[in-house]
Structure 1
Amino acid sequence: MDSTPADTSASAETSTTNHPMAPHNDIEAFHQVLKSSRRILALCGAGLSASSGLPTFRGAGGFWRNYDATQLATVRAFKMDAGIVWLFYSYRRHLALKAEPNMGHRALAALARRNMDFLCLTQNVDNLSQRAEHPSSQLKSLHGSLYDIKCSNESCDWIQKGNFDDPFCAALAPASVDMPNGEPLPLLDPYHRVKHIGEDEIPKCPQCKKGIQRPGVVWFGEDLDANMMMDISAWMRAEPIDLMFVIGTSAQVYPAASYIDKARKRGARIVTINPEAEDEAEMYKIKPGDFAFGRDAAECLPILLEPVIGKPDEDGEFGMP
């Protein structure tokens, strides 16, 4: 995830469109822009799922037990201790299975159903956008899924889609425990000793019989799926882009973050939705004509998208505007 292919297309030229200045958090002004926008792109991060109760594992407090969570998301960590990496991902699988899509996921799914020219790029691996019935043709999971399993042998192409076993295997059962009365899970206590899980306790690949099974997510240092990247590039080059949402992400992980500048060069106004979006340290990113809403995506997206998706009913479903 640390490299991005060069954009050599002639369509990546800087847009000459002049956008009128508007207050960065003016909802009425944004609604006018939205109603005149056809091709819309979104980049979503862990903040989108925060209201569903899923930890982001980035920034302050981004630790799991006594491990920096981002350091567990590497091939090196898996080779050193596959058991502890699998415990971390089993815990995340269990949390995501218990979670429900929030109104942010549902609003984006409704926008996709209303607008065939909307494409959503998600860095999330929690499957909540899919469970919100976001059309699969308009959703690109940049970093894979917690529920895809593949072989750790780099020369083997075995992959299993949609494995929702919880626990994934018997040795990982401690990660799938629900404690009574909100008591803390012992696994999360760094001082609680965890039984070491050997590679012989993790299922082997059924195809090559050599590698052990691993989460089908993109770890730091790994490349994103090449076919998916080509599909995204083709969509971005096809026509100018009117609007881009940057939702619940610090936009620090590449190549995902590179899509912001690429969309801007294709004419897009950028709309940032993040609790920190209006902090002084973040406002320098806001260009003339852009918008920034320092709010939670689950609360903010239904309001921002209302002219297109309408108001939600009692079941959280969006009717026609």
Structure 2
Amino acid sequence: MATNTEPQISQESIASFHEHLGKSKRILALLGAGLSASSGLPTFRGKGGLWRTHQSMSLATPGAFNEDPGLVWQFYSYRRHMSLQAKPNPAHYALAALAEKIPGFQTLSQNVDGLSPRAKHPPKQLQLLHGSLFDLKCADRHCGYIREDYTDPIVPALAIPTSGADLTSNETREQDISDVSVSIPKLKHHELPQCPKCKKALLRPGVVWFGENLPFTVLETVDDYLASREKIDLMLVIGTSAKVHPAAGYIDKARQRGARVAVINTDENDRPPRGWNDGDWFFCGDAAQILPELLKPVIGDLPKP
């Protein structure tokens, strides 16, 4: 039964979590941007989510790409660059270690930053709901070309910043293309990433834009996991308010399969969409500090990366 009483952090709650974790064979985790906060990545969603003079979410649409692919690519090339400068934090490594220890652990990530894969999270236990900045796919959906690519920049014209300067110099590379005082050019079609398969369309970032469906194979994998007759023991909700569907619905579905819910977030007002249930846990703070300790009975001490 749902309650309005927020679970409190105490030694007793940590001990009860550890006891339940030790008995858990099937665990589901839902990850959000808060997981990567300690890695220093900026967020572009919500109030004030501007990139230069553009509302960043307005660049995350198929229409924006069709209208000005050069501008959209420069925004995503900047995000790729920032993500590659960041490093996975202890929370990423803790989740990867848990996946290695528990075959029945499945992770649903709303993050596109590539940090979980770089922490060696087993791919079969990591479902990227919103795609990845480091997947490139043909803008023509009939072509079907896709590849993983961590090259930075993908093409010379997308170097940061794209000016007439020496693109290999540290001084040039360290300039902040998100600053409106740093000029960016109007890129031409032939300067942008081209599809090597159809040789007609541009490549685009392999992320899910507004108005697009989530990846079918990912949704199918998640649905199969939730449809199993086996009980789900534990649901971890990390760094996300889980207010947006389908993410919000996964918490309810896990509860229906018997899961107890543990929320790890910095927002003191964060709670599951339908409120707290008896037996839930809320650990308020930085996931990078909290998660390795919460999972320690199973994963042990993390090696220094």
Q: TM-score, normalised by structure 2?
A: 0.88
1:49 to 33, 36, 39: 36
Amino acid at match of 2:159: A
Equivalent residue runs for 1:101-120 within 5 Å? 101-120=88-107
Give every structure 1 segment of 4 or more consecutive aligned residues whose post-TM-superposition deviation is greater than 6 Å.
Answer: 176-181, 280-284
1:96 and 1:126 in contact (8 A); partners too: yes
Offset at residue 109 of structure 1 (A) = 0.7
1:47 and 1:56 in contact (8 A); partners too: no
Equivalent residue runs for 1:200-211 within 5 Å? 200-211=190-201
Q: Tell me the C-alpha RMSD between the 2 structures.
A: 2.7
2:149 to 142, 145, 163: 163
1:179 and 1:185 in contact (8 A); partners too: no
- Match of 2:264? 273
- Match of 1:241? 232
- Match of 1:139? 126
Offset at residue 283 of structure 1 (A) = 9.4
1:151 and 1:205 in contact (8 A); partners too: yes
1:24 and 1:290 in contact (8 A); partners too: no
Amino acid at match of 1:173: A
CA distance in 2, matches of 1:90, 1:22: 41
Offset at residue 22 of structure 1 (A) = 9.7
Provide the aligned length of Structure 1 versus Structure 2.
Answer: 295
1:119 and 1:139 in contact (8 A); partners too: yes
Offset at residue 186 of structure 1 (A) = 4.2
Gap regions ≥5 residues in structure 2:
none
Local SS of the residue matching 2:134 = strand
CA distance in 2, matches of 1:281, 1:143: 22
Offset at residue 190 of structure 1 (A) = 2.5
Q: Mean Cα displacement is larger for which, 89-98 or 54-63? A: 54-63
Local SS of the residue matching 2:211 = coil
Gap regions ≥5 residues in structure 1:
1-15, 317-321
1:178 and 1:185 in contact (8 A); partners too: no
2:161 and 2:176 in contact (8 A); partners too: no
Amino acid at match of 1:204: Q
Q: Deviations over 1:13-69 (max 9, x none)?
A: xxx9x9xx9944221222122122221000111111111111122234322112222
Q: Deviations over 1:241-293 (max 9, x none)?
A: 111111111223332332111111211111111100x3278797222221111
